Structure 1
Amino acid sequence: MTSLGDLPLRDDLRGREPYGAPQLDVPYALNTNENPYPPSDRLVKALGEAVMDVAGTLNRYPDRDAVALRADLAAFLNADTPGAGLDGRRVWAANGSNEIIQQILQAFGGTGRTALGFEPSYSMHPIITGVSGTRWLNAFRDDDFGIDPVRAVAAIEGHQPDIVFLTSPNNPTGTALPPAVIEAVLDAAPGMVVVDEAYAEFRREGTPSALTLLDGRPRLIVTRTMSKAFAMAGTRLGYLAADPAVIDALLLVRLPYHLSAVTQAVARTALAHGAELLGGVEALRRDRDAIVAWLRAEGFRVADSDANFVLFGTFPDRHAVWEALLARGVLIREVGPPEWLRVSVGTPGEMDAFRTALTEALKEGL
């Protein structure tokens, strides 16, 4: 059998492992931060009709620039963050926020350039950075998983990165960044600043979005996704808001007709039914806060979360705890600092199963 070692693979890819959370058939999958509430029958019907509408034109290429979809996304962001003042010229869409990140790195990174982030954070940032030929620099987060603006500025001034990644709310910790931290980074960064807001809709009341900082800052990019709060993970639709010049730069690197007609139709239908899809967000926030309170009452360390997941610990052997929960049908995630675990917020029944499994596992002395 031929192996990777037998192929003329790029040297910088040798020894790497593919990204991916375990995909296991379990009763309670709480490891990938999905919205646990599926679309209603009414929405399923609307989605089917939208696909039917474009099915007869699939012999033709889709709208190359997804103009109508981008206008709809801009309208959603304006409603989400009053005063954002966005239109379709300042929004871009792609196949999940990971393709958005890849396009940003293709346009502003590359050989001889560097990207800086603050880990623990979203693990795809350094992975896509490396695959794009860009050098990754880790400036690390503080012990409470926040980012001290003075230390962040010092790291930026010392390294002069071409791209800075900030994640708010942060994955895997759930930590949201105050606007002052983002502004300090923007003032110090010589290149692009990307604020990854994949979980923004779950942020607690009073936690602002980086969208409020876009005006007058052409090097700021704010990325979002429809995979989480919108419960559209299977659609694969990510997007960003930025200065129109940023979209012009991304047009240089995007693949032709990168966003299918079906994806565009499904995403636009989901946005039209946004009130329904986002209707479960408040319940997920409440359930998140409840699981944080329960874990702390049980004596765990728990990171403050503005997302739909909770990072908790610490464990001398987190893998043993992970396996004990899996044996009870509950799949969570081994991610982040070595002694911590992350659980996604599921339905009330799923969270009851998690609490029961964790309680039983700890009785085994893990």
Structure 2
Amino acid sequence: MTSLEDLPLRPELRGRTPYGAPQLAVRHALNTNENPYPLPPPLLADLATALADAAPGLNRYPDRDATALRADLATYLTRTSGVPVEPAQVWAANGSNEVLQQLLQTFGGSGRTALGFTPSYSMHPIISAGTATRWVDGHRRADFTIDPVRAAAQVREVAADVVFVTSPNNPTGTAVDLDTIAALYDATPGVLVVDEAYTEFARAGTPSALTLLAGRPRLVVSRTMSKAFGMAGLRLGYLAADPAVVDAVQLVRLPYHLSSLTQAAARTALAHTDALLATVDAVKAERDRIVAALPGLGLTSVPSDANFVLFGRFADAHAAWQALLDRDVLVRDVGLPGWLRVTAGTPEETDAFLTALGEIAADHRTTEGDSSS
């Protein structure tokens, strides 16, 4: 059998493993931060009609620039953020990961450096490697927050060409304040990408980095329809930035990268925004319910503005993960000593998670003074 070692693989890809959460047959899968609620029937009916209407034209290429979709996305951002966003400021692709890849193809690459404040979204360094962009881990405090002074100094020292800030952060869950984002922007002559995949779940009063776009032509805000919209299977991500950034990204995008069916489905979903986002408050309630229950089990969490909770502390996080899996509950071991991450699901899923956690917490949590915490 031929192995990777036998192939002329690029040196920086040797020894790496593909991204991916375990896909296991369990009753309660709470490890991938999906919206647990099914799409509403009126949307499903409209989707069937929209896809049927688009199907006869599949012998032709789709709208290369996704003009109508970008206009709808701009309308959504303007309506929900209060910040005027024009279609020329918006670009869409196959999931926010393709958006990030296109940004790194455009502003990163050989001889250039990307920096992100780890622990954070693990695809940032993976996509950097895939685009031959050098990766540097940024500093976080012990509580996983970013020290703006120290972080800005590191950005200047590294002379990063692309800086990633995930807000709310994945896997820790906390949003980054706008003053920190502004300080990081001022510290780099490169592009600052604020990854807002979970922003619709943020606690009340948490502003979006969209409010910082005016006058900052190197600031990019990326979003997705996978989380709050419950459209993970659609694979639709997008960015908002200065129109010049949109023009630049089109230099590297593949021709006709968004299919006619994807564009039709995304536009139909955006027409049902209110119904789709109606589940957000229900998910946030389950998130807050998990957070409130943890102290009674001798555990704690990181403050979350997302649809998940980073919780601990455990003497051996992987052993605790396995103990939950043995009870048919799959959470995410994100590789942080002492911590696990759970997606906020339906009330029934929360019940199952908290019941299982109650059964294993005493045997797996750390005790005061345990050095592993």
Relative to the length of structure 2, the TM-score reads 0.96
**Per-residue CA shift, 1:267-324, capped at 9, x if unaligned?**
0000000100000101111111111011123221210000000001111211111111
Give ranges in structure 1 of 5+ residues lacking alignment: none
SS across alignment from 2:279: helix
1:253 aligned partner, one-letter code: V
**Counterpart contact for 1:64–1:256, Cα < 8 Å:** yes
2:39 matches 1:51: no
Determine the structure 1 residue equivalent to 2:12. 12
Q: How many residues align?
A: 365
| Cα distance, 1:153 vs structure 2 | 1.2
Q: Distance in 2 between matches of 1:22 and 1:199?
A: 21
* Runs of 4+ residues over 4 Å off in structure 1: 363-366
Determine the structure 1 residue equivalent to 2:39. 39
Seen in structure 2, the aligned counterparts of structure 1 residues 170 and 336 have a Cα distance that, compared at 3 Å, is: farther
**Counterpart contact for 1:120–1:336, Cα < 8 Å:** no
Q: Distance in 2 between matches of 1:142 and 1:238?
A: 30
Determine the structure 2 residue equivalent to 1:146. 145
| Cα distance, 1:363 vs structure 2 | 5.0
**Counterpart contact for 1:168–1:199, Cα < 8 Å:** yes
SS across alignment from 2:57: coil
Q: What percentage of aligned pairs have identical amino acids?
A: 64
Determine the structure 2 residue equivalent to 1:118. 117
**Counterpart contact for 2:103–2:249, Cα < 8 Å:** yes
Using the TM superposition, name which of 356-365 and 227-236 deviates more.
Answer: 356-365
Determine the structure 1 residue equivalent to 2:23. 23
**Counterpart contact for 2:320–2:364, Cα < 8 Å:** no
**Per-residue CA shift, 1:46-71, capped at 9, x if unaligned?**
11111101011101000000000000
Alignment of 1:1-366 (within 5 A): 1-82=1-82, 84-364=83-363
Seen in structure 2, the aligned counterparts of structure 1 residues 35 and 365 have a Cα distance that, compared at 3 Å, is: closer
| Cα distance, 1:364 vs structure 2 | 4.8
Relative to the length of structure 1, the TM-score reads 0.98
**Counterpart contact for 2:160–2:188, Cα < 8 Å:** yes
SS across alignment from 1:311: strand
**Per-residue CA shift, 1:148-185, capped at 9, x if unaligned?**
11111110121110011001000000011111001111
**Counterpart contact for 1:120–1:140, Cα < 8 Å:** no
| Cα distance, 1:264 vs structure 2 | 0.4
SS across alignment from 1:22: coil
Q: Distance in 2 between matches of 1:31 and 1:43?
A: 26
User: What RMSD, in angstroms, separates the aligned Cα atoms of the two structures?
Assistant: 1.0
Using the TM superposition, name which of 198-207 and 285-294 deviates more.
Answer: 285-294
Q: Distance in 1 between matches of 2:251 and 2:338?
A: 43
Q: Distance in 2 between matches of 1:94 and 1:218?
A: 20
Q: Distance in 2 between matches of 1:214 and 1:336?
A: 34
SS across alignment from 1:56: helix
Seen in structure 2, the aligned counterparts of structure 1 residues 365 and 217 have a Cα distance that, compared at 3 Å, is: closer
**Counterpart contact for 1:192–1:219, Cα < 8 Å:** yes
| Cα distance, 1:127 vs structure 2 | 0.7
